[in-house]
Amino acid sequence: MARRSLTPEEQALWAALTRSVKPIRAVARTLVPAAAPLKPNGQKQLTPPPPRPPVEQPRRMPAVVLDSGWERRIRAGNLIPDMTIDLHGHSLSSAHARLGQAIALGLAQGARLLLVITGKPPRITALDGSSQRGAIRREIGHWLETGAYSDRIASVRVAHPRHGGDGALYVILRRSR
């Protein structure tokens, strides 16, 4: 873009402006001296706290293969869930808390089959194989394995399409004996 020259009126305005401007005076800056290192005051040095006792890992039960009756009913979709837990749309923390509460309630009521709706698993969209969707679905397996009621869960299976398919899971609880 080519610059245009100033009109006589603009030149007069510019000259008036430059006459009214006062130069900025440099303010002398004072240097703050560095703080002197602290001297020890003769007190004992702090000792680290004693090591914490090891955290008890949740009991891991061997993987249970469901009997053929369960397998047949899962494939056919002939199951009627005793309780449905919809985690779709929750944040990770609220979904984790809601899942724990629902399993506790199901165990208290004697439920055997919980339908947990998580939302569809993520579609891989990025070139590196990562996805921003399906955070609850990605975490729920870990929550069920390490949760307080992991020893009370017999199996976890993908739900039949009539109950949500890939977007839902059946959590089969052990019978109380």
Position 59 pLDDT exceeds 60: no
CATH number 3.90.45.10 is the correct assignment for the domain at 81-122+131-173: no
Nearest to 78 by CA among 163, 171, 176: 163
Give per-residue pLDDT as tens, 137-174: 888 889 998 888 888 898 888 888 888 888 889 999 98
Mean pLDDT of the chain: 81
Q: For 134, left (φ over 0), alpha (ψ -120 to 50), or beta? A: left
| 116 DSSP β-pair partners | 85, 169
Angle at 10 between CA 7 and CA 15, to 5 degrees: 125
Q: How does pLDDT run across 11-45, given as a tens digit for each residue?
A: 999 999 988 888 777 766 777 777 777 776 766 67
CA–CA distance, 156 with 170 (Å, rounded to integer): 6
% of the chain with per-residue pLDDT over 90: 25
Contact status, residue 143 vs residue 156, Cβ threshold 8 Å: no
Domain residue spans of the chain: 81-122+131-173
